[in-house]
Structure 1
């Protein structure tokens, strides 16, 4: 089921989201000081390409620099990316087939809003101490 949802996602928005994150990541890596934002953008882009079956967990070693970076990210890009995800999710939720895509789009908001200090892991790799940042529709 995940494969089918990921393929539908890829066709109806995933490829464009991933390309947008890739372009922003390349631009961010051009300037030396914004390389962490570029790496975060590449990570989110990979997640945007194939979101079903993966989840977001906090990084236990993230510190004050991640918080400062997240504040800068939020002001420069995070708020606008979140608005784009909400708008796209609303458009996808119009059809029955689009509802899981809209849920996946909304699932990306936490990592798009504040990406530093978070990891994207496969659901099968969740260890007992790892708590997902969002509750999946199946309640796990």
Structure 2
């Protein structure tokens, strides 16, 4: 992680990142308690980690990254994302959206507001995402792979 990413992540935590990461962890715990929600809990933990330190990393489609379809990127994953949206996605997206609006009111907070908006989109449809470092993404690009990131 670069020094700039580290500084931005520290500022991010102070400006609301910690609260939204806690929201993601709460969603993961609630899903895990149900046992049936374990696939959603795994995705929520992955996105909680990303929410805690988004700078220097990006979310990509696992299907594009791995070059194959798996359970989370199949039609069953789409159904899982619809269920996620109903149970937890909308309120996490709303939390990111409200935080983004509050941060956008300040000039200093605009980059953080933009990051919250990207996370709001991921909140709606997290299954089938992989969090990778920007270095990994650039390495793949140099090798000739085309991966669509969420950054």
Fold-level similarity (TM above 0.5): yes
Find the counterpart in structure 2 of residue 103 from structure 1.
114
Tell me by how many angstroms 1:90 deviates: 0.7
TM-score, reference length from structure 1: 0.89
2:86 — aligned with what?
75
The match for 1:16 among 15, 19, 22 is 19
**Mapping of 1:106-117 within 5 angstroms?**
106-117=117-128
- Give 1:117 shift: 0.9
Aligned residue-pair number: 135
Matched residue SS, 2:37: helix
Q: Which residue of 2 aligns with 1:49?
A: 52
Which is helix-richer, 1 or 2?
2
State the alpha-carbon separation in 1 of the partners of residues 16 and 94 from structure 2.
Answer: 15
Distance change >3 Å, CA 58–CA 130, structure 1 → 2: farther
Q: CA RMSD in A?
A: 1.4
User: What are the ranges of 5 or more consecutive residues in structure 1 without an aligned counterpart?
Assistant: none
| Structure 1, 67-76 or 124-133: larger mean CA deviation | 124-133
Task: Confirm whether residue 26 of structure 1 aligns to residue 29 of structure 2.
Answer: yes
Once the two structures are overlaid, the 10-residue window that deviates more, 120-129 or 44-53, is 120-129
Moved over 6 A (4+): none
Gaps of 5+ in 2: 64-68
Residue 38 of structure 1 corresponds to: 41
Taking structure 2 as the reference length, the TM-score comes to 0.83
Contact 2:43 2:126 in 1 (8 A): yes
Alignment partners' CA distance in 1, 2:97 and 2:87: 17
* Higher alpha-carbon deviation: 32-41 or 20-29: 20-29
